[in-house]
Amino acid sequence: MSTLREDLDAGGDPRLAELSASLAAVRERIAEGARAAGRDPAEATLIAVTKTYPAADVVRLARLGVTDIGENRDQEAAPKAAETAAVGASVRWHFVGRLQRNKCRSVARYADVVHTVDSVRLAGALAAAAATERVEPLEVLVQVSIDDDESRGGISQAGLPAVVAAVVTASSLRLRGVMAVAPMSWSPTEAFGQLADIASRLRAEHPAATMVSAGMSGDLEAALACGATHLRIGSALLGKRDSLR
Ligand SMILES: *Cc1c(COP(=O)(O)O)cnc(C)c1O
């Protein structure tokens, strides 16, 4: 097995060329989607979701100018964040997966933003973890379940105010906005349209909650049309994953 540094120093680095090409294609989709929605593409931040791909790819993406990185499992993200830091690459880590309370302390050490706070208990555990593990508050998005099916992550719209209150009362957390995944059986436009309504109501009460995390490889155009500020892109950038993760 080669080391991270050897991989990156490999002559020519075909993987860097591959990522550069897919990044250009994704940037073009974002530019086109923003144009169609009458928006400035600069309003949408690209988060590269690097789950199942190695730290070397994170470093390559950083070299290509993508410095917002998403991961969905702490077991994978914690060592990847350490490896990335060890070679001197500086990126912002977005935790976008389901978060168990016993992982909060670990996530609070390396994450810059957690997109998936979806219960009062989780907000409490993350607040306690952030208070002991960090100096700066941890930025938090509340994950909303658009179809109110909480089994797949996200809080129902009825439960949202309590989770928001739990985040804003914690001095170690900073409410930054909302996140959603379009339910399988919904049109993404309908789902993200609902999310946009929820986001604007939240912003009316909490002006700093400006982030709308929506849109993946398959539905980024719909998310852009509905005001997404952060796109979470995995396979279109890094390639198809073996597993269903
Ligand atoms: C994997 C993942 C993504 C990226 O999905 P792609 O379809 O590969 O772009 C986005 N958001 C979350 C929460 C994910 O787990």
Q: What is the pLDDT of residues 21-64, one digit of tens each?
A: 999 999 999 999 999 999 999 999 999 999 999 999 999 999 99
Indicate the CATH number for domain 4-238: 3.20.20.10
Of 220, 240, 245, the residue nearest 232 (C-alpha): 220
Of 41, 101, 50, the residue nearest 76 (C-alpha): 50
Q: How high is the pLDDT of residue 51?
A: 98
- Asked if residue 220 has its Cβ within 6 Å of ligand 1, the reply is no
Q: Which residues, in sequence order, are CB contacts of 219 under 8 Å at separation 6+?
A: 182, 188, 192
For the chain, which residues make up each domain, given as ranges? 4-238
Greater confidence, 122 or 243? 122
Residue 55 and residue 46: Cα distance in Å, rounded?
A: 18
Q: Name the DSSP class of 52.
A: T
Q: What is the pLDDT of residues 58-94, one digit of tens each?
A: 999 999 999 999 999 999 999 999 999 999 999 999 9
Q: Name the DSSP class of 45.
A: E
Token digits of residue 224: 């852009």
pTM (2 d.p.): 0.95
Residue 109 and residue 116: Cα distance in Å, rounded?
A: 16
- Asked if residue 188 has its Cβ within 6 Å of ligand 1, the reply is no
Distances (CA, A) of 145 to 76, 116, 178, 211: 25, 11, 10, 16
**CA atoms within a 13 Å half-sphere pointing along the CA-CB vector of 229:** 14
CA of 11 to the centre of ligand 1 (A): 31
Q: What is the pLDDT of residues 190-238, one digit of tens each?
A: 999 999 999 999 999 999 999 999 999 999 999 999 999 999 999 999 9
Across the range 156-168, mean pLDDT stands at 98
Q: How high is the pLDDT of residue 179?
A: 98
Residue with the nearest Cα to atom 6 of ligand 1?
A: 234
Which of 30, 46, 68, 72 has most ligand 1 atoms within 8 Å of CB, for mutation? 72
